[in-house]
């Protein structure tokens, strides 16, 4: 009987590196590099197993490469499997020996089985454990690569290896599937919690924390400058008192939706609380700031709001600050807020802009 502890070494190593699953998910999930990163991880584990195999004779080795290759394809995707396949083939060619051709054929056969499973069976079995067990059985079919060897040798090895290979493939696939899905759930849960922590529930905009995080990752273009628009709804208390707080909440949500449809993709739109909002626009020329502010006001006031059979006009006042200096967010908010007070005093429903000393523009009343 073959030694299971030797065959399961790379599987145990992979389970022990479960934190790498999560690290890769955090760094590469839903990016074009995700499958490449997982392919490298599975490929490295395949190499570890192939360099610490069970010897079956001159040039013949036995390990769990097909299990890991199949897991890469089915749990991550074909690209990850292809990367792992390249690593496995390269390693087997490097090891050499009489079983080289058999080993390479086995890898390609395992890859083909996994690809067929990925496209034909992956989502047809709702019970994940059962699906993993059947996948383990399917991956065991790669053992037929032995029959490229002389017939008598192939039969002897087939009879000797099959029971252990089947058990290892089933147990290993179930174990890897459990770990991979657990890490995926953990990642998704953390992602949702982070999104909730940085998102305003009413308007689905970023909150202050989310805005700071987004701005921190935005690229600052000193050649063009950036602007912060800070604004609130004119006479918002009157809307709440006259039509009720549900209408007030609807006003906030409708206003946010109208503005979100207007601003460009790189703009960072956030609700600070109450009826106070801000929009950070990187890479904005000084000559465009006033026009942007005027357009935001027009988007809100251009069409009356309707909620619960009540129709009423809504306007916003905006204070904006533009500069080429890479100022902290709070400094820009404070300077924009000063302009907001001036806009209120000037009659509301308007945008008031100030420019940093690095530009020749003056305040516009």
> Which CATH number fits the domain that encloses residue 297?
3.30.70.270
Residue 256 lies in a domain: yes
pLDDT at res. 291: 96
Residue 364 lies in a domain: no
For residues 160 and 239, membership in a common domain is answered with: no
Entry pTM: 0.65
**CA–CA separation, 67 and 50 (whole Å):** 12
For residues 96 and 188, membership in a common domain is answered with: yes
For residues 149 and 89, membership in a common domain is answered with: yes
Residue 147 domain boundaries: 4-197
Distance of CA 363 to the CA centre of its chain: 42
Where a domain ends, among 174, 197, 220? 197
Tell me the CA distances in angstroms from 104 to 68, 86, 116, 236, 361, one per residue in order: 15, 10, 19, 72, 70
Residue 284 lies in a domain: yes
For residues 90 and 151, membership in a common domain is answered with: yes
For residues 259 and 143, membership in a common domain is answered with: no
Residue 307 lies in a domain: yes
Q: How many domains does the chain have?
A: 2
Hey, what long-range contacts does 127-130 have (CB within 8 A, 24 or more apart)? 128/177, 128/181, 129/174, 129/177
Where a domain ends, among 172, 197, 222? 197
| CATH number of 170's domain | 1.10.1760
For residues 32 and 154, membership in a common domain is answered with: yes
For residues 72 and 149, membership in a common domain is answered with: yes
Residue 361 lies in a domain: no
Residue 337 lies in a domain: yes
CB count, 10 Å around CB of 231?
27
Residue 121 lies in a domain: yes
For residues 212 and 178, membership in a common domain is answered with: no
For residues 234 and 112, membership in a common domain is answered with: no
For residues 228 and 306, membership in a common domain is answered with: yes
CB count, 10 Å around CB of 53?
19
For residues 103 and 183, membership in a common domain is answered with: yes
For residues 175 and 293, membership in a common domain is answered with: no
Where a domain ends, among 144, 175, 197? 197
Average pLDDT by stretches of 10, the chain with 365 residues: 50 62 78 88 85 60 80 93 95 87 93 96 90 94 91 88 86 87 85 84 92 84 89 95 94 95 92 94 92 96 91 96 93 96 95 79 41
pLDDT at res. 21: 77
- What is the token pair recorded at 60? 């013949």
pLDDT at res. 154: 86
Residue 250 lies in a domain: yes
- What is the token pair recorded at 64? 């769990």
Residues in the chain: 365
């Amino acid at each position: 009987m073959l030694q299971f502890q030797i065959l399961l070494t790379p599987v145990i190593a992979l389970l022990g590196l479960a934190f790498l699953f999560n690290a890769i998910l955090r760094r590469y999930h839903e990016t074009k590099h995700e499958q490449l990163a997982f392919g490298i991880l599975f490929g490295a584990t395949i190499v570890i197993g192939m360099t610490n195999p069970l010897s079956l004779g001159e040039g013949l080795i036995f390990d769990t490469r097909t299990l890991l290759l199949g897991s890469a394809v089915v749990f991550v995707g074909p690209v990850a499997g292809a990367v792992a396949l390249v690593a496995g083939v390269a390693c087997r060619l490097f090891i050499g020996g009489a079983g080289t051709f058999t080993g390479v054929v086995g890898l390609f056969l395992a890859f083909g089985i996994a690809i067929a499973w990925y496209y034909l069976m992956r989502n047809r079995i709702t019970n994940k454990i059962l699906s993993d067990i059947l996948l383990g059985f399917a991956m065991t079919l790669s053992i037929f690569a032995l029959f490229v060897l002389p017939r008598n040798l192939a039969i002897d090895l087939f009879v000797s290896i099959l029971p252990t290979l089947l058990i290892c493939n089933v147990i290993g696939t179930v174990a890897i599937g459990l770990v991979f899905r657990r890490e995926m759930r953990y990642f998704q849960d953390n992602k949702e919690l982070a999104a909730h922590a940085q998102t305003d529930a009413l308007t689905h905009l970023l909150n202050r924390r989310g805005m700071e995080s987004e701005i921190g990752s935005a690229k600052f273009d000193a050649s063009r400058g950036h602007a912060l628009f800070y604004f609130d709804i004119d006479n918002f208390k009157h809307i709440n008192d006259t039509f009720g707080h549900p209408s007030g909440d609807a006003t906030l949500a409708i206003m946010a939706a109208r503005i979100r449809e207007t601003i460009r993709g790189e703009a960072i739109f956030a609700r600070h609380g109450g009826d106070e909002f801000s929009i950070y626009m990187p890479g904005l020329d000084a000559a465009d700031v006033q026009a942007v502010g005027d357009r935001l006001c027009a988007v809100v006031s251009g069409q009356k709001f309707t909620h619960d059979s009540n129709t009423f006009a809504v306007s916003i006042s905006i204070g904006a600050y533009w500069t080429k200096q890479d100022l902290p967010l709070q400094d820009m908010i404070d300077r924009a807020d000063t302009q907001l007070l001036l806009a209120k005093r000037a009659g509301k429903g308007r945008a008031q802009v100030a420019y940093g000393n690095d530009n020749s523009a003056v305040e516009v009343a």
